[in-house]
Structure 1
Amino acid sequence: MPKQFVHTTSERRSSVIYSTSIGKGGLFVPSDYIPTESMIGSEDTTDDSNQEDQHFIRQDEEEITEYQSLLPENAPSASESQLQTDYGTTENEHPKRISLERRNSLPLLEEERELLIDNKLLNRKDDTEVLHPDNASLESIIESSNDIMNTWNNAIQSGKEIKTSYKRECKVIALNALPLIFTFILQNSLSLASIFSVSHLGTKELGGVTLGSMTANITGLAAIQGLCTCLDTLCSQAYGANNYHLVGVLVQRCAVITILAFLPIMYIWFSWSEIILSWMIPERELCKLAANYLKVTAFGVPGFILFECGKRFLQCQGIFHASTIILFVCAPLNALMNYILVWDKRIGIGYLGAPLSVAINYWLMTLGLIIYTTTTTNEANPLKCWNGLIKRRQVFKNWKKMFNLALPGIIMVEAEFLGFEILTIFSSHLGTAPLAAQSIVSTVASLAYQVPFSISVSTSTRVANFIGASLYKSCITTCKMALLLSFVCSSMNMFIIFEFKDKIAKLFSNESDVVILVVSTLPILACMQVFDAFNASTAGCLRGQGRQKIGGYINLFAFYCVGIPMAYLLAFKFNMGISGLWYGITCALIMMSICQGYAVFHCDWKSIIHAARTRNAENTRV
């Protein structure tokens, strides 16, 4: 969830929810399409509004009843619990300890202070470390905070316009995007390592791991991520209401339901995957290799489910770095295990070593989250949301509400994964070598996308902050700078891909026919980088504006009505091979960039700000 400026009043705050459970083709996450209960109620102005209000009241009463049943005897009320969290009541705690909420707000205080200084509304003090809790007393932090608050509110009330600069926005967006780049690349490297290690075994093995990975994504991993998106809403709301024990119950409930839902899919992977794949893929040997990949990967999927649920368990408490730390360990370990299990002469098992490495690392990622949660000294104290294992009667309680949020998430994630993977199915009908080449080009495209996507995430947060503060002119400055940064990064990607196309192709494959196809396709991918980056940055602007649906509809129309049909025609009717596939997708990205760019800069900013105020007014009443 993007952070809001600390001293923005509740009526002026934006309420954009962002999740990182996203595929290469998807620019808008499932939660963008899931209205909150307050939104649904506010949009209804018909005579049925009372009935819907009563429906939501009943749902809230069910949640309250469930929460109360989980509380231990003599438990403090929500307000008492919050007071204890903020100020501390035990003898061992310092009476002037800085609260977690205040500590989390310090970076935003610093941003507001710098913005006021830029507008000559506040003088830069000599003690620049005044907002740092390690170097200042609680009294000085409160005094500085009050100065910023009073200056900010006086400027707003007097009609003084607070503006940002291109230099400041470049600095803020770049600094926020930098750590995200490493996180997304590490997460992407899990599949990259498998493709890279298997690619040198042969063309058929590369096609098999590509087909197996694609099938696992579409039929398993994407559905799991989509189902777990319900926790982005439910756990965040429960934690925000201080219903800490309910957070643990919701996470366990989602994990159990997801594992039970996956059992039939696991059976299909083991018993029917080769037959089903043969209906779509002409090469029977590829189907057999892909089926073997699925059988081994299935053992790691329960670990993947627990990791996705555990990640959200920590994220709803404001702990976002845990999964990054774990990936910093597991990503290199996965690459090392891929090499050992695929190529080592003593313990290597060849092709099946790649899916085995992925399966083992899924469990190691879950183990890492458990170790972090139980040993961390983070002030959020994540174990306060754990009240032991849930009872059997609690597993399916209120499960309908969870599915109401999860099903749209599953649909959107599946649509995103399916879009780019359809190209893989198309390439399989062109032959084994084109399928292997398509796998390499897709991997390079996904890796290059992580940089503009990180800028997109940073931009959406910044735009939401400014909309929350009713500073729409600053939003325009941010959007322009985001496009400029995206152009710079995409130009670098374009140069690297075009200049080193031969080395990239040979890095993944030793087969001459595959290398030739990759080298001939990478220049198209290089040119596509500019539009892919513009597409990502404009999507981030739309998310920040709270207009996700507009971008989503443009995305779906351009991709499924223009890009994929054109890719099919160029590849098969005009005999352009995999080059035709990527020409078609490039056309879709051009359309999306133009349409989304127009939507970003030709909008009614007053309506956007009013919508943000309305959402937050409703959220404060829920």
Structure 2
Amino acid sequence: MPNQFVHTDSEQRSSVIYSTSNGKGGLFFPADYIPSDINGPIADETEDEGTSSSSDNLNRLNQQQGASAAAAGSQPKDTDEMQFLLGDDDADAHGSHNMHYQSIHESHHNNAPLLSPSSRPQQSFARRASMAKSLIDEERDLLMDNKLMDSNVRVRSRANSIVESMYGNAEPTDLDAASEIITTWNEAIDSGKQIESSFKRETTVIAFNALPLIFTFILQNSLSLASIFSVSHLGTKELGGVTLGSMTANITGLAAIQGLCTCLDTLCAQAYGARNYHLVGVLVQRCAVITILAFLPIMYIWWSWSEALLALVIPERELCALAAKYLRITALGVPGFVLFECGKRFLQCQGIFHASTIILFACAPLNALMNYVFVWNKSIGIGYLGAPLSVAITYWLMAIGLGLYAIFTSHQTNPMKCWHGLIKRKQIFKNWQKMFGLALPGIIMVEAEFLGFEILTIFASHISTDALAAQSIVSTVASLAYQVPFSISVSTSTRVANLIGASLYKSCIITCKVSLLLSFVCSSFNMMVIVTFRYQIAKMFSKEEDVVTLVISALPILAFMQLFDAFNASTAGCLRGQGRQKIGGYINLFAFYCIGIPLSYILTFILDMGVGGLWYGITGALIMMSICQGYAVFHGDWQQIMDAARNRNSEAARV
């Protein structure tokens, strides 16, 4: 997903929590939970571990660059310029958000000149010329939309070519194009002209950014979908067992692992931004080791006590036995899942976001093939146990694939520069309190969501085995349908945050409206597909007539829910982009646990509405969430939102 303008700082970087069960995915931003002294421990730890400080690294880079320039017969204009050029160019290389660029925009909007009149044009261009080409092109497009630039100026090369042009190595047209865009933007801002986006532009940007995310999320979701689809044809009890086992694995293990790993989004991004590359590798290994050690007691419970514990809340003892078998096999793959989650963040903090998608493109089809072979093949198939075995193997393949990518990739960032061997024993538990301090809110938020769907599964198990199987199928369809509006939500949060970083709050309002419109279009399409093909969907997952009947009766309710599910996702994305995710979190918890689950219980057991009652209750919660979040998005104090973003960026700049 390309950057536009300037996003909020690395502390605000999101961790996408993918759903690997029948639940839905969510986003967790650690920014609001970061202690004010977060920068201190990172710096102190870096010094203790013998790594050089960012200033030392920068000095060495300056010396190297100065020597290179001298050899080429051209000297940089001054040391300060060389520092921010190297800093910005490095930031572009690893995809972090450009702090110098933010400071320039802040200076413009505060009517305070960044530099003296004599030096400002030259150094302002030098700083911003090292941005990614896409950032400059975004300014060009907006200037043209606002009729502030007549010609269709385009910058052919990326940042390195523009910087090289300062030393006479690139075509002058690239330099001229970037210079014209930047100068025009500066003049527009300084003169007080309003730069606003348009509905057409925001629709294009959000759709363009959301498209690849849709494929990524669907691939991730397909891991659980393949297991449910393959087992559903074995029988009703097997489908109930895999559903109960999968959701129990998520609520007691995988969700906590995902939440714990969110601390790396902050710690690794800050360490990399400070050029403490060795520390990045240390943090990733520390998180992996601590997470695996924390999971060992859970693994023991899965192996020894899961059936007995499930029997306390699930009336069907056979379902508990099947779920326990699922947990025992899945536990073998959890360490691979931990390594994948940590490895994904190891690459993401360096700006390599496509690696996990590439791995999923390979592993998701393999997972589906293994499910078919291990469950149904007459020669080597093992029936029900083939589903969890496929999941366990897939987790390890994902981890191995990500490791091979990091080692052998030809990516210009060279991710292995952050790997300096295995972590020392004394470093494993160093500053672990800080890691847990950042991860704990993520664990709570993720667990709250998965726990909600686990409760619905428990409710369904108390109706009948057929109801549990039907609930599994409807949940799977709901999760799959959610991936499109969720992708729009992620794209929206990034775009809104970028526009807030550029202090273009009026464009943010347009973006939020476009997001709601796109979500309505997608939810309408989902609703039409679910209603039209409800018979085919039900029979595709099960051959049991009673189960099929229950699914067919519940799918129209799910179709109606799509409107509010998408609206909720869109407004949540807007709040995240505004940096007000706490508001969304509070609304989510209140609506889900004070309205949705109680209403589901009343409708299902007191009014005897069956599986449909479960989804009527969730729909009620989503309606409340949509109304409250929509009001919060469009009635916020935009000046306060922009000030908060600037404060976060100022704190990040001191890292």
Q: TM-score, normalised by structure 2?
A: 0.86
Q: Does 1:574 align with 2:584?
A: no
Give the distance between the partners of 2:501 and 2:153, measured in 1 at CA. Answer: 30
Please, which of 578, 581, 587 is the counterpart of residue 548 of structure 1?
Answer: 581
Q: 1:45: which partner in 2?
A: none
Pick aligned residue for 1:20 from 10, 16, 33: 16
Query: Within the alignment, does 1:29 sit opposite 2:27 as a pair?
Result: yes
Q: Residue 210 of structure 2 aligns with which residue?
A: 177
* CA contact 1:30–1:410 (8 Å) conserved in 2: no
1:13–1:465 CA contact under 8 A, matched in 2: no
Letter in 1 for 2:523: S
Q: CA deviation at 1:157?
A: 1.5
Aligned match of 2:135 in 93, 103, 108?
108
Aligned to 1:77: 56
Structure 1 residue 350: deviation in Å?
0.3
Distance 1:138 1:60 in 2: 41
Aligned to 2:122: none
Within the candidate set 425, 430, 434, 1:397 is matched to: 430
Confirm whether residue 461 of structure 1 aligns to residue 440 of structure 2: no
In 2, the alpha carbon distance for the partners of 1:561 and 1:117 equals: 49
Deviation, 1:524, is 0.2
Amino acid at match of 1:593: S
**Distance change (3 Å), C-alpha of 1:576 and 1:84:** farther
CA deviation after TM superposition for structure 1 residue 76, in Å: 8.9
Q: CA deviation at 1:70?
A: 4.0
Q: In the alignment, which of 85, 109, 124 is matched to residue 151 of structure 2?
A: 124
Does 2:481 align with 1:448?
yes
Match of 2:245 in 1: 212
How big is the shift at 1:605? 1.0
**Is structure 2 residue 63 aligned with structure 1 residue 63?**
no
Q: Which moved more, 1:521-530 or 1:18-27?
A: 18-27
Deviates more, 1:400-409 or 1:323-332: 400-409
The separation in 2 between residues aligned to 1:5 and 1:351, in whole angstroms, is 51
Q: CA deviation at 1:442?
A: 0.2
Can you list the C-alpha shifts for 1:460-498, whole angstroms capped at 9, x where unaligned?
111111111111111111111100000000000000000
Shift of 1:234: 0.5
For residues 282 and 495 of structure 1, the distance between their equivalents in structure 2, rounded to whole angstroms, comes to 36
Q: Give the distance between the partners of 1:296 and 1:523, measured in 2 at CA.
A: 36
Shift of 1:149: 2.0
Question: Which residue of the other structure, out of 215, 221, 224, is the alignment partner of 1:188?
Answer: 221
1:122 partner amino acid: M
Q: Return the offset for 1:152.
A: 1.4
Q: 1: CA distance between counterparts of 2:287 and 2:73?
A: 38
Greater relative CO, 1 or 2 (CA 8 Å, sep 6+): 1
- Over 3 Å counting, the alpha-carbon distance change for 1:156 and 1:318 in structure 2 is same
Tell me how large the CA RMSD over aligned residues is.
2.8
What is aligned with 1:254? 287
What is the rounded CA distance, in whole Å, between the counterparts of 2:91 and 2:415 in structure 1?
15
Q: Distance in 1 between matches of 2:268 and 2:136?
A: 27
Amino acid at match of 2:525: M
Partner amino acid for 1:156?
I
The equivalent residue for 1:367 is 400
Cα-to-partner distance string for 1:305-334 (whole Å, 9 max, x where unaligned): 000000000000000000000000000010
CA contact (8 A) 2:241 2:319 kept: yes
Map residues 463-542 of structure 1 onto 2, 5 A cutoff: 463-542=496-575
Contact 1:133/1:141 (8 A) holds in 2: no
Q: Please give the per-residue CA displacement for 1:133-178, whole angstroms capped at 9, x wherever unaligned.
A: 7999365434333322222122111110001110111111000000
CA contact (8 A) 1:32 1:548 kept: no
Q: Give the counterpart of 1:269 among 277, 289, 302.
A: 302
Aligned to 2:113: none
Separation in 1, partners of 2:67, 2:214: 37
Q: Which residue of 2 aligns with 1:593?
A: 626
Deviations 1:257-286 (CA, angstroms, capped at 9, x unpaired): 111111111111110000000001000000
Gaps of 5+ in 2: 77-84, 96-131
**Is the Cα–Cα contact under 8 Å of residues 231 and 387 in structure 2 kept in the other structure?**
yes
Cα displacement (A) at 1:247: 0.2
Structure-2 change in CA distance of 1:57 and 1:34 (3 Å)? closer
Taking the aligned partners of 1:84 and 1:528, their CA distance within structure 2 comes to: 61
Question: Contact between 2:314 and 2:320, CA under 8 Å: does it hold in 1?
Answer: yes
Is the 8 Å Cα contact of residues 272 and 350 (structure 2) preserved in structure 1? yes
CA distance in 2, matches of 1:81, 1:570: 68
Aligned twin of 2:197: 164
Look up the match of 2:128.
Answer: none
Give the share of equivalent positions with the same residue, in percent: 67
Say if 1:296 and 1:245 are closer, same or farther in 2 by CA, change over 3 A: same
Separation (CA, whole Å) in 2 of partners of 1:282 and 1:556 = 28
Deviates more, 1:141-150 or 1:218-227: 141-150
Deviations along 1:224-260, whole A, 9 cap, x unmatched?
1111111111101100111000000000011011111
Q: Would the aligned equivalents of 2:42 and 2:271 in 1 still touch at CA under 8 Å?
A: no
Three-state SS of the structure 2 residue aligned to 1:20 is strand
* Separation (CA, whole Å) in 2 of partners of 1:356 and 1:520: 33
Q: 2:199–2:511: 8 Å Cα contact kept in structure 1?
A: yes
- Is 1:483–1:538's contact at 8 Å kept on the other side of the alignment? yes
**Which moved further from structure 2: 131-140 or 247-256?**
131-140
Deviations along 1:336-393, one digit per CA (max 9) or x if unpaired, are: 0100000000000000000000000100001101110011111111000000001111
Q: Could you say if the C-alpha distance between residues 441 and 463 of structure 1 is closer, same or farther in structure 2, counting changes exceeding 3 Å?
A: same
- Which residue identity is paired with 1:197? S
2:591 match: secondary structure: helix
Deviation at 1:603, TM superposition (A): 1.5
Mapped to 2, the partners of 1:307 and 1:27 lie a distance apart of 17
Unaligned runs of 5+ in 1: 41-54
Equivalent residue for 2:387?
Answer: 354
Distance 1:160 1:245 in 2: 46
Cα shift at 1:609: 1.1
